[in-house]
Amino acid sequence: MPVELICNFCGTKYYKSPSKAKNSKYCSRTCGNKAMAQNKKIDRENRKCSGCEKTFLAKKNSDRKYCSRKCMMESVKVPRVELKCHSCGKDYERPVGKETKFCSKDCQNFGQSAGLTNIPSNGRAGYRKDLPSNYFFKSSLEADYARYCKAIGKKYVYEHRTFVLEINGKKKAYTPDFYHPDEDRYVETKAGRKDKKYGGNLPAVDELKSQGIKIEVLFMRDFYRNIKQSGHYWNIDNIENKNYLGTRPLIYG
């Protein structure tokens, strides 16, 4: 026969079988949850906001100091400094201590491709004492190609122009290594890799070709083989490929 009980939370009469009545305290799960929440309720106290100094309610066991997230962000806000993007020239702001040269990732990529900032490299990046002082070459191959052009009297401009292209649905800033104004032709130099793979510049070269721009890829193995056959490899001073350690003092910056 069901046992009559009184709910410890709402006071309502309810019934349970004798086997369950012994441990039953609440008429429903809802009353049980409300009772548990009430038992766990933490007292609150008035505090003064560390930002705006308004009074607000906070749990006694919390370390809350601000009345709102907005007030907290305003109080801990780091002073900002005005900057000008090295790529697009746009004015922008950054927190003090976190200044950058570019206003966005796209401008950073454009600036790196255009040589507006130097990319850290484990290779032989740097200026050369025997080449124009305004050219920061990224590798020995580029420097040797410039020496070859100088030896045969071929005019060149290093990193003459940066193109913004769309490759596989994404924008890419690409700057060919050399431009020969007398031929209106670009040259992209490429070092050899053991895995026979090459970087993302080759799709950019193909895109420029499709636009009617004259550009060719000059691989390192072909370049050095050709200048050996022509005799320039041995006659041009400071070819880094033939005297890697001896030409190290030429590099600076």
* pLDDT of 108: 82
CA dist 12 → 5, 33, 38, 183, 223 (Å) = 8, 16, 18, 97, 95
List the beta bridge partners of residue 56: 47
> Cα separation of 5 and 26, whole Å?
9
pLDDT at 234: 93
The helix or strand, by DSSP H or E, that contains position 31, with its residue range, turns out to be helix 29-39
206 pairs with which residues across the strands? none
Render pLDDT for 101-144 as a digit per residue (tens, 0 to 9).
Answer: 888 888 887 777 666 666 655 568 899 999 999 999 999 999 99
At 78, the pLDDT band (50, 70, 90 cuts) reads confident
Return the HEC string of 98-165: CCCCCCCHHHHHHHHHCCCCCCCCCCCCEEECCCCCCCCECCHHHHHHHHHHHHHCCCCEECCCCEEE
pLDDT tier for residue 167 given thresholds of 50, 70 and 90? confident
CA atoms of 71 and 65, how far apart (whole Å): 10
Q: Please tell me the distance from the alpha carbon of residue 1 to that of residue 14, in angstroms, as a whole number.
A: 13
Q: Is the pTM of this model over 0.75?
A: no
Query: In this structure, what are the phi and psi dihedrals at residue 175, rounded to the nearest 5 degrees?
Result: -120, 110
Q: Answer whether residue 146 shows pLDDT above 80.
A: yes
Does domain 127-252 bear CATH number 3.40.960.10?
yes
The string of pLDDT tens digits covering residues 16-73 is 998 888 889 999 999 999 888 887 777 888 999 988 889 998 888 888 999 998 888 8
**Residue entry with tokens 């505090």:** 47
More confident position, 97 or 204: 204
Boundaries of CATH 3.40.960.10 in the chain? 127-252
Predicted confidence at residue 215, as pLDDT, reads 96
